[in-house]
Amino acid sequence: MSLNSQVHNSLSPHHDGSDLYVSNSAPKIGSSVTLRVRVPNTYHFAKAFVRLYHDGEPRTFELTAGTQGKVETWYSVKIEILNLSTLYRFVFISEGKYEWLNAAGCFDHDVHSNQDFQIVAVPEYPDWIKSSVFYQIFPDRFAKSGQSHPIPEWAIPRDWDQLPSVHSKQTGTELYGGDLKGVEQHLDYVADLGVNGIYFTPFFPARSNHRYDASSFDRVDPILGGNPAMFSLVASAKKRKIRLLGDLTSNHCGAGHPWLAKAKKDKKSKERGYFYWDKSVKHGYVGWWGLASLPKLNFNSQALRNEMYSGKNSIVKKWLSPKYGMAGWRIDVGNMTGRLGADDLHDEVMHGIRAAMDEVKPDAWLVAENGDFVASDLNGLGWHGAMNYQGFMRPVWNWINSNSKIGGGFQGLPFAMPKISGQQLVSSMKEFNGSIPWRSLVASMVLLDSHDTARMRTVVSGDRTAHLSAMSLLLTYPGVPSIFAGDEIGLEGTTGEDSRRTINWEDRSGWDHEFHAEVRKLIALRRTEDALINGGLRWVEVCDDYVLYLRESKKQSILVFISRNGVKADINIASLGYRISKTLYGEKVSGSKFTIKSKTATQSIWEVEQ
């Protein structure tokens, strides 16, 4: 199949983990679950089976036909859940036909269980994240309250309207003076945008503006206003029904942490076991990426585990308590936590953090930063989800970018970003989605950029329409959307450091107000339309320059069109038995056949019915 060809996955059987297809995605062991598959009437076969494992042995059960429509027929099968994790896929057979349907798609050859659909028999993600949109705030750069705070010795004060230094020795020590009271003073702006969650990069004391080198995990940095400012912010956010997500470095702390000072002073102290020691380096201990400022934590120490997550007054538990009010944790470099050389304690630590959160706040959200991706991290038993760089942001950048000079550094690549087709975009997404349970996909954070990357407006070379296409994709794709503060007004940035620019609240003439208005509309749809909250994902048409996909729940079906540049697209959804019933956003069309013609990138969202 050429890269320029269209792909009509709608003409193949479809199943995903959403409630339209799975009767219970978090069953108890011993219960039964009904699985449903929708099959086009033009897709011919003699029999269909589900293949799954019971106690490690493969079993097959035949599907039976149910409701038959004009263009599709529903098939179903009831299975018993005997194990913690149930892997399953479907097979369709007849004379000359032998095709598997798994989480990555349909295949006419034998496939591996690594991409089977998965049901996990434990409680799933907190329900509230399904209708949440988060707003990422880098505390030093969002807003200043005007209150005076102590200036630490390490800091280099900067004027609010200055751009950050990039690739400079002082980049991490430039202090602009944003604080939590400043965030509180602008909560009405955040609420008006429509988001109902704020993800903060670390707010603990440190020796840097990014605070990923914590000097303490017990209190809020005084230069942000300290604990009183956090308590006030939590109360004000709660009134507006905005949840707050904290950021925890489980992989390392900072060189200024008292743990390290005690460990250096007393080799018999319990803190000595919190770190890895190496006489071959000048500072005497292992630092993350060799950095003396970021001593690597050693989870062979049970005392450290107690401090971080398992103890009664652990860091993980404390900040989730009603007094401190966090709604969950984003775990920094979650894929590296607990791993060093021959030590691989990652899963133990990950499961320990999850157990601690389930104990004190079962509806708290646990999402990890995975700069790269290991599928077992998202098997449903550890992190609820990950920051979806691998299966969303990277493919979207590669598809929509017009500024490859930014480079592929954050993608782990020593060369410029590639430019890929729509088919490659969707294949990348399917590759990621096919390796994890559906529950882990929808509990992952989807993002266009972050404090660690270039800004999307710069990725598309300032093209507002392309940026809006990317934003539309973000807010209609499965997962929990997160918008980096300033993206909604067209803020730019060429690198992670450069993207950490301040927002000019005093003079808004540089804001992209038109873009801001469109983002508000899209956020409102994401938070209120049932198909975007509970729906599955079904690709309808994929071309070089545009994609068309369905989000369908029990209550609603939504069709999304996204192009990366100007297009003339003839759309026909009659083969699916659908017609446009309502335009929710973008081009107003009707019926089952229509043409989208635009000189620039464009995006539309429609409600459809059969």
**Residue 172 counted as domain residue:** yes
**575 is in which domain, residue-wise?**
535-609
**Residue 427 counted as domain residue:** no
pLDDT of residue 403: 85
Q: What are the φ/ψ torsions at residue 513 (nearest 5 degrees)?
A: -65, -35
Task: Provide the b/e sequence for 300-326 (b: ≥16 CB within 10 Å).
Answer: ebeebbebbbbbeebbbbbbbeeebbb
- d(C-alpha 252, C-alpha 289), whole Å: 11
Question: Could you tell me the sign of the dihedral formed by the alpha carbons of 307, 312, 314, 316, in that order?
Answer: positive
- d(C-alpha 382, C-alpha 366), whole Å: 8
Tally of helices (H runs) and strands (E runs) in the chain: 16, 28
CATH number, domain of 605, equals 2.60.40.1180
**Residue 399 counted as domain residue:** no
Length of the chain: 610
- Give pTM, 2 decimals: 0.96
- What residues contact residue 498 under an 8 Å CB cut-off, 6+ apart? 163, 164, 166, 454
Q: Are residues 62 and 45 part of one domain?
A: yes
Q: Are residues 151 and 112 part of one domain?
A: no
- d(C-alpha 324, C-alpha 11), whole Å: 51
Domain boundary among the residues 120, 144, 164 is at 120
| Cα angle for residues 570, 574, 575 (degrees, 5° grid) | 105
Q: At 383, is the secondary structure helix, strand, or coil?
A: coil
Amino acid at 509: S
pLDDT of residue 67: 87
Q: What are the φ/ψ torsions at residue 159 (nearest 5 degrees)?
A: -70, 145
pLDDT of residue 2: 30
Output the CA–CA distances (angstroms, integers) from residue 144 to 194, 489, 528, in the order listed: 22, 18, 32
Q: Are residues 514 and 463 part of one domain?
A: yes
pLDDT of residue 7: 37
- What residues contact residue 438 under an 8 Å CB cut-off, 6+ apart? 16, 17, 18, 22, 25, 103, 117, 118, 536
CB 336 within 8 Å of CB 250: no
- What residues contact residue 517 under an 8 Å CB cut-off, 6+ apart? none
* Dihedral Cα 558, 559, 562, 568, nearest 10 deg: -150
Q: Are residues 267 and 224 part of one domain?
A: yes
- Please classify residue 96 by burial: count the beta carbons closer than 10 Å to its beta carbon, then call 0-12 exposed, 13-18 middle and 19+ buried: exposed
User: Comparing C-alpha atoms, which of 352, 353, 354, 350 is closest to residue 339?
Assistant: 350
**Residue 429 counted as domain residue:** no
- Please classify residue 395 by burial: count the beta carbons closer than 10 Å to its beta carbon, then call 0-12 exposed, 13-18 middle and 19+ buried: buried
CB 601 within 8 Å of CB 565: yes
Q: Are residues 460 and 374 part of one domain?
A: yes
Edge-first strand listing for the sheet containing 328-331: 385-386, 365-368, 328-331, 243-248, 197-200, 134-137, 480-484, 445-447
**Residue 401 counted as domain residue:** no
CB 503 within 8 Å of CB 510: no
Which residue ranges in the chain fall short of pLDDT 70? 1-10, 371, 407-412
**Residue 394 counted as domain residue:** no
Q: Are residues 178 and 269 part of one domain?
A: yes
User: Comparing C-alpha atoms, which of 454, 516, 508, 471 is closest to residue 490?
Assistant: 516
Report the relative pairing of strands 156-157 and 538-542 from DSSP bridges. Answer: unpaired
- d(C-alpha 163, C-alpha 167), whole Å: 13
Q: Are residues 488 and 455 part of one domain?
A: yes
CATH number, domain of 111, equals 2.60.40.10
Q: What are the φ/ψ torsions at residue 168 (nearest 5 degrees)?
A: -115, 155
Q: Are residues 268 and 136 part of one domain?
A: yes
CB 150 within 8 Å of CB 223: yes
Residue range 422-481, pLDDT digits in tens: 999 999 999 999 999 999 999 999 999 999 999 999 999 999 999 999 999 999 999 999
Q: Which two tokens stand for residue 378?
A: 């998202």
Segments in 405-545 forming alpha helices (H): 422-433, 438-442, 456-459, 464-474, 496-499, 513-528, 530-534
Q: Are residues 13 and 66 part of one domain?
A: yes
**Residue 543 counted as domain residue:** yes
- What residues contact residue 264 under an 8 Å CB cut-off, 6+ apart? 284
Q: Are residues 225 and 307 part of one domain?
A: yes
What is the number of domains present in the chain? 3
Residue range 552-585, pLDDT digits in tens: 999 999 999 999 999 999 999 999 999 999 999 9
Domain boundary among the residues 484, 505, 531 is at 531
Q: Are residues 380 and 275 part of one domain?
A: yes
**Residue 492 counted as domain residue:** yes
Domain boundary among the residues 70, 87, 120 is at 120
- What residues contact residue 2 under an 8 Å CB cut-off, 6+ apart? none
pLDDT of residue 5: 33
Residue 188: CA count within 13 A, CB half-sphere: 1
Q: Are residues 548 and 456 part of one domain?
A: no
